[in-house]
């Protein structure tokens, strides 16, 4: 999702672009400050709109949350799954996912300047807004399921050693991705991020027969 630029003279187009701008700015603010610490006024100011302009498109802040969550999922898929479908071997798909996560997702701060928005949401919403936290958890469960399936396929095809526990390895990789996200969010060190993801890639290579 590219940042909206300019406004058309037609009222319909203006409305569409305002909605996109609100989503864009809310996503950036949520990634930086979290959902709870971002006020409606913060979003209005960033999107250069009024309360009427915002509520013309979104019934509430929670309504906006779900739209932003879906947009953030699209960003995640676009960046992390880039080129994965062009790879035949399942374990290589996992490695490509990790490389994309490092290079295309976490290091690109244009959409999410605060880092992975899902980690930010999961930390702050777990106790305060459990209904919203459950929606975020669905994405985490889906990621683990995808990694586990690919590793199981890799084991079946002989890419991984017979004794490999695909589920356990998937949990470790998922935890490593979360750890890399948190550390990178605190230190903003590309070198540290590279080391963390490289350790996961090396671990996968050591599981080969």
Reported as a single tens digit per residue, the pLDDT across 9-31 is 344 555 569 999 999 999 999 99
pLDDT score of 5? 41
Spatial contact of 105 and 21, defined as CB atoms under 8 Å apart: no
Range of the domain at 146: 66-206
Length of the chain: 209
Give a yes or no: residue 186 inside a domain: yes
Secondary structure (DSSP) of 49-66 = --HHHHHTT-SSHHHHHH
pLDDT score of 190? 92
pLDDT exceeds cutoff 60 at 2:
no
Tens digit of each residue's pLDDT (9 = 90 or more) over 139-181: 999 999 999 999 999 999 999 999 999 999 999 999 999 999 9
Give a yes or no: residue 60 inside a domain: no
Give a yes or no: residue 167 inside a domain: yes
Give a yes or no: residue 141 inside a domain: yes
Rounded Cα distance, 31 and 1, in Å: 15
Instruction: Tell me how crowded residue 119 is: count the other CB atoms within 10 A of its CB.
Output: 18
Q: How many CA atoms lie within 13 A of 65 on its CB side?
A: 20
CATH code of the domain in which 79 resides = 1.10.357.10
Q: pLDDT band at residue 188, thresholds of 50, 70 and 90?
A: confident
Region label for 83, one of left (φ > 0), alpha (ψ between -120 and 50) or beta (otherwise)? left
Spatial contact of 4 and 22, defined as CB atoms under 8 Å apart: no
Give a yes or no: residue 47 inside a domain: no
């Amino acid at each position: 999702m590219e940042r909206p630029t300019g406004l058309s003279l037609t009222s319909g187009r203006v409305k569409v672009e305002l909605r996109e701008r609100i989503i864009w700015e809310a996503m950036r603010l949520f990634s930086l400050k979290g959902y709870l610490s971002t006020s409606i006024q913060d979003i209005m100011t960033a999107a250069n709109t009024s309360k009427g302009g915002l509520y013309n498109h979104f019934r509430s802040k929670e309504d906006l949350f779900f739209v932003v969550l879906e947009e953030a999922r699209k960003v995640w898929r676009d960046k992390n799954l880039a080129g994965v479908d062009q790879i035949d071997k399942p374990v290589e798909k996992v490695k490509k996912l990790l490389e994309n996560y490092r290079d295309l997702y976490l290091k690109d701060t244009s959409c999410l300047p605060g880092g992975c928005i899902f980690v930010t949401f999961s930390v702050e919403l777990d106790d305060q807004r459990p209904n919203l936290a459950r929606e975020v958890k669905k994405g985490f469960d889906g990621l683990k399921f995808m990694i586990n399936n690919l590793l199981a396929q890799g084991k079946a095809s002989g890419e991984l050693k017979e004794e490999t526990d695909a589920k356990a390895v998937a949990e470790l990789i998922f935890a490593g991705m979360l750890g890399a996200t948190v550390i990178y969010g605190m230190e903003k060190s590309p070198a540290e991020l590279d080391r963390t993801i490289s350790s996961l890639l090396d671990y996968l290579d050591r599981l080969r027969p």
